[in-house]
Amino acid sequence: MLNTLSIRNVVLIEKLDLEFPAGFLALTGETGAGKSILLDALSLALGRRSDVGLVGKAAEKASVTAVFEVDADHAALKILESNDLDVEGSEIILRRTVDGSGRSKAYLNDQTVTVGLLRQIGDELMEVHGQFDQYGLMNAKTHLGLLDKYSNTAPQVVAVEALFHEWKSLEERLRTAEKNVEETKQEEDFLRGAVSDLEGLHAEEGEETKLVERRSMMSHAKKIIEGVNDIMLEISGDSAIEERLYKVSKIFDRLSDALGDRASSYDGFIETISTTLDDLKEDLEGLVANVSEESASFEVMDDRLFALREMARKYKSHPDQLPALLDAYQEKLSMIDNVSNIDALRKQESVACAGYVAAAEKLRQSRQLESLNMKKEIETELAPLKLENVKFQVNFEELAQENWRATGLDKVSFEVSTNPGQPFGPLGKVASGGELSRLMLALKVVLHRDVGSKTLIFDEVDSGIGGPTADAVGKRLKRLGEKNQVLVVTHSPQVAACANQHYHVSKQDHGEGIRTAVDALDNAQRIEELSRMLSGEDITEEARQAARKLMVNG
């Protein structure tokens, strides 16, 4: 709900800070006192159209801040989080400024945002119904959700949505599979030839790299063998390293008494060197043998490398990727050879579609049945509001199959006929301004389960009515106020008398110019204001008695 509203330099409002409780709140005042300015300022904070004319005289800019208290699961909080905006506690702060050039800035929780996002949040927090500014229920896109909430069809809606997505998922899989098969058939001859080639080649992943390394080694075979032989001569023969190591070992033996414990460690060094030399000779002998053997198959190796590269060029690939290419071609061919898979998928898609349609048909029947109950309830509310000639209906427009939705088979909209014989039409295009406000009130009273998360504003909902009709309007607003915060701009004392809190809007001369003021009234002040509304500026005792009676009855 709306907790506070702070306005600075908006037309005649220089500085205004208001606190709002829950319940039904009435705003009254003489024509021209500034009630419309107050609503214009609030609309500015909600992201509605800005106008340089809102900036007060001699002011550089106008500013409006609205602070709302919301529940933890409120839709507005989810929008803030999805836009990476900080959310602390349960408060949402909307602020808007307009400078002298008409340029405006928008803020959410003191973070700069687009006016579009501000309006999106504003629409979730407040709903305005007036003679010239209606939205919320005026948007036909909301009607299906409202009908479902009225009808308590949530379990059916969830089931239909799940079946719809299951069907669409299978439909997409089938479409993709059929497309792939069709494309594959067009290149079937190519694929079969390619698979035959690649299977015959028996290419292995990384084979080219290994062949290149071996080929490089074989191209240097002679050089490698000669070098190894030279090394073997150096470490073998009459003056070989082994003979010298033997002589060194004998010298250490003669010194063993003089060296003491060190003699054994020196023996270890000699043994390690000897072992390492043996390992080196063995490895070099193996290298020569391997090179000699590979040299004999050099031509075969070269032919294999050529075959791999030629096949890679033919299929615009890399030699190391030929095994993966074979797998891909075989998989495509399997789609052609396994038509039964497509048939099975087609049957699954058909069954899923039938399941969705059956559930959606049942949901349609539930909605249509409940729409008749809604019609009766709403028309029952219309008669006391002097709208006895207005007829209400829920229109079901069957959608073509390509337009079926997760919400069902129909497009739903609320329609009215305001006079006998007049065709039904959309709410805003058929009803007049005054009728529309009262019609919205009747709808809200019946659909009260939906509006608990929003603050409702009714601007001159009592236009053109009085007496018992105004009393009926007031009582319905009070009923709405039991579960919702409802702000009402009214000229009707019967309506104002039903409010939980009464605010008076007036113009005051502060010496430097006329300014708009808004005051919360206590009981005594409220009786005086209701008396003025009943009798005009000359307030009589009879008017005061009538005001007291209205408050008691309200």
Cα–Cα dist 200/216, whole Å:
26
Burial group, residue 236, by CB count within 10 angstroms (0-12, 13-18, 19+): middle
Cα–Cα dist 324/346, whole Å:
30
Task: Give, in order, the Cα–Cα distances in Å from 90 to each of 1, 112, 193, 441.
Answer: 11, 19, 68, 28
Last residue of a domain, one of 322, 337, 352: 337
11 and 85 co-located in one domain:
yes
pLDDT band with cut points at 50, 70 and 90 for residue 132? very low
Total domains present in the chain: 2
DSSP conformational letter for 402: G
Predicted pLDDT of residue 54: 85
For 460-506, write each residue's pLDDT tens digit. Answer: 777 777 888 888 989 999 988 988 899 999 989 999 999 999 999 98
329 and 187 co-located in one domain:
yes
β-sheet bridge partners, residue 7: 16, 64
Q: Does the pLDDT value for residue 399 go beyond 70?
A: yes
**8 A C-beta contact, residue 488 and residue 25:** yes
Cα–Cα dist 69/4, whole Å:
9
**Average pLDDT of the segment spanning 173-188:** 77
91 and 206 co-located in one domain:
no
Residue 140 inside a domain? The answer is no
198 and 109 co-located in one domain:
no
Q: Does the pLDDT value for residue 408 go beyond 90?
A: yes
Q: What are phi and psi of 147, to 5 degrees?
A: -60, -40
18 and 126 co-located in one domain:
yes
Predicted pLDDT of residue 465: 78
- Nearest partner of 519 among 535, 533, 502, judged by Cα: 502
Place of tokens 């799940």: 162
pLDDT band with cut points at 50, 70 and 90 for residue 397? very high
Predicted pLDDT of residue 431: 64
pLDDT band with cut points at 50, 70 and 90 for residue 225? low
Higher pLDDT, 415 or 217: 415
How wide is the angle at C-alpha 504 spanned by C-alphas 500 and 507, nearest 5°?
170
Q: What is the CA radius of gyration of the chain?
A: 45
Highest-scoring range by mean pLDDT, 25-29, 173-177, 436-440: 25-29
For 320-337, write each residue's pLDDT tens digit. Answer: 889 998 898 888 777 666
Q: Does the pLDDT value for residue 338 go beyond 50?
A: yes
Residue 302 inside a domain? The answer is yes
For 66-91, write each residue's pLDDT tens digit. Answer: 999 998 888 888 899 888 887 777 88
Predicted pLDDT of residue 14: 87
192 and 308 co-located in one domain:
yes
Structural domain of 32:
2-130+460-520
Residue 142 inside a domain? The answer is no
pLDDT band with cut points at 50, 70 and 90 for residue 191? confident
Predicted pLDDT of residue 336: 66
Last residue of a domain, one of 337, 364, 394: 337
pTM summary value: 0.64
Predicted pLDDT of residue 527: 93
Q: Does the pLDDT value for residue 551 go beyond 50?
A: yes
Q: What are phi and psi of 342, to 5 degrees?
A: -65, -40
Q: Does the pLDDT value for residue 222 go beyond 70?
A: no
Instruction: Please give the span between the terminal C-alpha atoms of the chain, in angstroms, as a whole number.
Output: 23
Cα–Cα dist 503/5, whole Å:
13
Residue 375 inside a domain? The answer is no
Predicted pLDDT of residue 88: 76
124 and 205 co-located in one domain:
no
Cα–Cα dist 382/364, whole Å:
26
Q: Does the pLDDT value for residue 216 go beyond 80?
A: no
Q: What angle in degrees, to the nearest 10, is found between the helix axes of 433-446 and 339-382?
A: 110
The CATH number that applies at residue 62 is 3.40.50.300
108 and 188 co-located in one domain:
no
Q: Does the pLDDT value for residue 548 go beyond 50?
A: yes
Last residue of a domain, one of 302, 337, 372: 337
pLDDT band with cut points at 50, 70 and 90 for residue 171? very high
Higher pLDDT, 196 or 274: 196
For the record, the structure tokens of 7 come out as 């306005």
123 and 240 co-located in one domain:
no
pLDDT-above-90 percentage for the chain: 34
For 238-264, write each residue's pLDDT tens digit. Answer: 556 777 777 777 777 777 777 777 777
- Nearest partner of 291 among 210, 219, 208, judged by Cα: 219
For the record, the structure tokens of 104 come out as 């405006």
For 88-127, write each residue's pLDDT tens digit. Answer: 778 899 999 999 888 999 999 989 999 999 999 998 898 8
Residue 406 inside a domain? The answer is no
DSSP conformational letter for 293: H
Burial group, residue 30, by CB count within 10 angstroms (0-12, 13-18, 19+): middle
Tell me the three state secondary structure of residue 169: helix
pLDDT band with cut points at 50, 70 and 90 for residue 237? low
DSSP character string of 181-240: HHHHHHTHHHHHHHHHHHHHHT--TTHHHHHHHHHHHHHTHHHHHHHHHHHHHHHSSTT-
Backbone dihedral region of 482: left (phi > 0), alpha (psi from -120 to 50 degrees) or beta? alpha
Residues 6+ apart with CB under 8 A from 239: none
Q: Please state which of the ranges 68-82, 144-158, 248-262, 378-392 shows the lowest mean pLDDT.
A: 248-262
202 and 326 co-located in one domain:
yes
Q: Please state which of the ranges 10-19, 267-276, 280-289 shows the lowest mean pLDDT.
A: 280-289
Q: Does the pLDDT value for residue 386 go beyond 60?
A: yes
For the record, the structure tokens of 112 come out as 């700069």
Residue 390 inside a domain? The answer is no
Q: What average pLDDT does the chain have?
A: 84
**Average pLDDT of the segment spanning 285-313:** 75
- Nearest partner of 435 among 412, 414, 461, judged by Cα: 461
193 and 321 co-located in one domain:
yes
Q: Please state which of the ranges 70-74, 132-136, 439-443 shows the lowest mean pLDDT.
A: 132-136
105 and 188 co-located in one domain:
no
Residues 6+ apart with CB under 8 A from 250: none
Q: Does the pLDDT value for residue 214 go beyond 70?
A: yes
Residue 471 inside a domain? The answer is yes
Higher pLDDT, 136 or 16: 16
- Nearest partner of 437 among 512, 393, 401, 488, judged by Cα: 488
Q: Does the pLDDT value for residue 8 go beyond 80?
A: yes
Predicted pLDDT of residue 92: 93
Burial group, residue 458, by CB count within 10 angstroms (0-12, 13-18, 19+): buried
Q: What are phi and psi of 110, to 5 degrees?
A: 65, 20
Higher pLDDT, 71 or 274: 71
DSSP conformational letter for 423: P
Predicted pLDDT of residue 163: 97
Question: Which one-letter amino acid corresponds to residue 167?
Answer: W
Q: Does the pLDDT value for residue 368 go beyond 80?
A: yes
For 525-541, write each residue's pLDDT tens digit. Answer: 999 999 999 888 788 88
Predicted pLDDT of residue 403: 95
**8 A C-beta contact, residue 529 and residue 502:** yes
**Average pLDDT of the segment spanning 272-294:** 74
- Nearest partner of 192 among 57, 288, 334, 298, judged by Cα: 334
Residue 309 inside a domain? The answer is yes
H or E element at residue 338: none
Predicted pLDDT of residue 292: 62
